[in-house]
Structure 1
Amino acid sequence: MINVKHSELAEICHKAAMFHSAEAAELEYLIEDQPGQTVLAIRSTEASGFLHNGGWRDILRDLRVFPTKHPSAGWGHSGFLKGADRVAKSLKGLISKDKPLVLCGHSLGGAIASALVPMLTNHGYLVAGCVTFGAPRVFIGGRKYCVEMVHYRHGKDIVCCLPPVWLGFRRCGVTLEVGRVGNPFPNFSDHSIKKYIRAIRAVERDTL
């Protein structure tokens, strides 16, 4: 069970784009201790750094859509599974296996977070759940995990439509639609993490 508000997780994801605890294969992540739980936020796609700071590696990882099979995660997006595998191996000694762990991420970070669920569970971590914001699909075929998995889509965020279903890609868990639909067509404008934060805060206020 996730004990952290989803808007707070989105804010931690936003923070992960600016600060990080460690990195693996150019994937940076932020570890935050919360009361009773640890939050692991994976940094989002750094397209703005395309010409410097290794941003081009994020783009290539996003485009490696051909499937591969991982021992604990099964079939899925090659780039995401390989990136998640490296992050999982780098966490040894950084995160306690005795404290519930919440995974989260925006964009590429959300895809890596999703892929980490079966990997870290297999490594003995107490994965409490995973919340993603504007994340692409990761796995080939449907499957269920015994943890809470929530995927947010703001408006017509185009990233949530990728990779396409006709290639066999599916989501695990529940998808929640937030925010007003301004542009009726899938677009990148709705992909901003700040828009996700505002929209989810509004939903949380309305449900109080």
Structure 2
Amino acid sequence: MHKNNMAKITGTVITEPQYDHETAGELFYRTILTTNRKSGCADEIPVIFRKGMVDENKIYYGANISVEGSFCSVNIPAGEKRKLILFLFTEQISDAAQEDDNYIFLHGFICRQPVYRKTPSGRQITDLLVAVNRPGGKSDYIPCICWAGNARYAKNLAVGSRIELTGRIQSREYEKKLDEEQQETRVAYEVSASRIYMIEEGE
């Protein structure tokens, strides 16, 4: 976990850990953690951990745990296009000591023109894509959404603006049209910002 990208989620494991991939001889496993919002809705967040890095005995179906780490992205080929895969990379696991919690802090840069819109119910929303630098020269690209006053503020941010935000990691289902006759249900992940501000030069 690095200071530009810090997340903590407390919730319930809803899938048994499964092998995900191997990199440089190290094995990585994936599971899903569900955490409730105050509204009663639940977010299902993919969690990846490296074998031997955390106490794996705490990760089993039905376990209530707190997971700390960084919200990461990988851009993989998907046919003629590419697909952004998002997950919480785990660096620390502990027994849940409180009710469901979901917190993230990001320090990064606006890397795509903000998109301001209104929902059918009239709520204001701005979509952002935030690049967060990792140690070693790589970056994670995190979709973020801002609401109401935050949306009005964020819509005026220029590409390249350095920002900090806090919020929660969310999941949502949507229908992807495959062709004229077929569509499938997919899941998107994003950060819902509760606070956002631009860092001026010199701060």
TM-score normalised to structure 1 length: 0.27
Larger % of strand: which?
2
Instruction: Tell me which structure has the larger Cα radius of gyration.
Output: 2
TM-score normalised to structure 2 length: 0.27
